[in-house]
Amino acid sequence: MKSKISFMKKIGHLFKVAAVYFFTAIFASQCFAQSSANSTANIDKRSQQYMEMLNGVFDFVQRNYVDEVDPQVLYTGALKGMLSALNDPYTVYLDNSTFRSLNDTTKGKFGGVGLSISKPFESTPEKPAYVEVASPVEDTPGFRAGIQAGDLIISANGTDTSTITMDEVLDILRGPVGEKVELIIRRGKNIEFPVTLKRAMIEVPTVKYGTIKEVQKAGTVGYVRIIEFTPQTAERVQQALDSFAKEKISALIIDLRNNPGGLITSVVEVADKFIDKGPIVSTKSRLSFENSVYTASPRKTTFKSKVPIVVLINRGSASASEILSGALKDNHLAYLVGQRTYGKGSVQQVLPLSSTEGLKITMARYYTPSDTNIDKIGIPPDREVLFPEFGETGDKQYTELMKSGEIEKYVEQNHAGHDMTEAQIAAYAEKLHQKYDAIDLPTLRKLVRNEANRTKGAMLYDLDWDIQLVAALDILSTSRAEFDALVKNTKTLKELQEEAALKEGVAAVEKK
């Protein structure tokens, strides 16, 4: 008994030394800057007890497990388990490969397939933890292959993605340029098809723009697609606005579809170009230094033409793109068209633990100007416009078409080396429609057009297929007075959430 007591006392002592070192390393970061005395005072007895028990188990397993154990394996497992217990998909341990990938993305270049992805922590037989595509990066192998936001990657190079970690998925998707990656994609409930991608040098894009002229009596409409919010985004958006000023646009469309987010400082700079006063976004946390209010400044407002603005959103619009759309909506400066957004209302910071690993941790939640958090809720459009679903027969036909490689073969055999005209695209789509009659013609034309333009890069817009963009132009073709009344009568996000809560309350009372 005495030897066991002595052993546990030794463990406790070892733990205290390790704990002091570990927490000193973490809290040395600016993100956690506070005095050592305050940190010690805030750790209660229960925390100390749990930490001693954790360290005791760590030491005991390392000394007594049947096989010799690398302490790094236990350390990594403990960190992953601790952070996953928070049930927050955005608070994660970053191992060497993930940390490297994050650095690659920050630098703006990396070898990969061009897919922004997420993965649930828990996997069950009823709901396997497959990788979900948040959005494809434009003009990349994943984008050109037609992979869409919401698609599931159920297999990567023959490995079931529900059985491996996010780190392992990234190791498959990213790597040497030119190597092939074999994926199985699931779309909706019933569509499954294989996709072969060849890794390319991915340069994270940020903004594309141009004009749409004389469509549906809307005049000359400025069109700017913000692909991601990086340090360069505000400058690129300003270039677009300067170009639009020269062309004297009569309306503006801001396309945030499939924009996964980015830097909060970047989206604030962009929003400030349109909003001349009041809050753009605020962050709230239990840590006082994380509480911030980003306020618009009149001298930074560069878009002063006051033309009608429509913002396009969909389920791939997340985080910073939701900040911009929410700020414009709450300030009654724009009309939102499309689909409910993803619903990521939290702010993360990356904390390096060493030169090769770190933590990404949620530090705060952000709130729109009407003081509303949209986490796990998203932002609903003012006018919902959804792409048509195929139905069971259409799903089967789409799967068959994608598996067959029919379109790729036709384009290669008949149009290799020269452009395929719209008339030729339409004619071949009509021919396909005879066989795949449950798939609508615009979708078939889109698939053919994507393949025909595979080597030329993505079109700026596609009015033949893009019913959400067409709906935006339709709204902008109304009179200025009608549009202003439309925007003025929209509800803020706070009003919408209060309305939804009231309905839920009424429904609960009626059930009783």
**Shortest CA distance to 20 belongs to which of 9, 32, 28, 10?**
28
- Answer whether 172's CB lies under 8 Å from 181's CB: yes
Q: Which of 344, 346, 370, 446 is catalytic?
A: 344
Up-side HSE of residue 120: CA atoms within 13 Å toward CB?
Answer: 12
Residue pointed to by tokens 């060493």: 354
**Shortest CA distance to 314 belongs to which of 150, 112, 493?**
150
Distance, CA of 119 to CA of 127 (rounded, Å): 12
- Answer whether 386's CB lies under 8 Å from 376's CB: no
Distance, CA of 153 to CA of 132 (rounded, Å): 6
According to DSSP, the residues that pair with 335 across neighbouring strands are 310
The pair of structure tokens assigned to 129 is 């933890």
**Shortest CA distance to 410 belongs to which of 425, 394, 399, 395?**
425
Q: What DSSP designation does 229 have?
A: B
Q: 238 CB contacts (<8 Å, ≥6 apart)? A: 273, 302
The pair of structure tokens assigned to 468 is 């959400």
Task: Let me know how long the chain is.
Answer: 512
Q: Which of 319, 321, 325, 346 is catalytic?
A: 319
Distance, CA of 67 to CA of 78 (rounded, Å): 18
**Shortest CA distance to 472 belongs to which of 290, 196, 262, 255?**
255
Catalytic, 344? Answer yes
Q: Which of 330, 395, 466, 474 is catalytic?
A: 330
Furthest C-alpha separation in the chain: 90
The pair of structure tokens assigned to 233 is 């985004």
Catalytic, 330? Answer yes
- Answer whether 134's CB lies under 8 Å from 316's CB: yes
Contacts 24+ apart (CB under 8 A), 84-93: 84/121, 87/121, 88/346, 88/362, 89/118, 89/119, 89/120, 89/121, 90/344, 90/346, 90/348, 90/360, 90/362, 91/348, 91/359, 91/360, 91/361, 91/362, 92/166, 92/359, 92/360, 93/357, 93/359
Q: How far is CA 274 from CA 177, 269, 308, in A?
A: 40, 10, 12
**Any idea what the Cα angle at residue 103 is, between residues 97 and 104, rounded to 5°?**
85
**Shortest CA distance to 407 belongs to which of 424, 387, 393, 395?**
424
Catalytic, 162? Answer no
Catalytic residues: 319, 330, 344
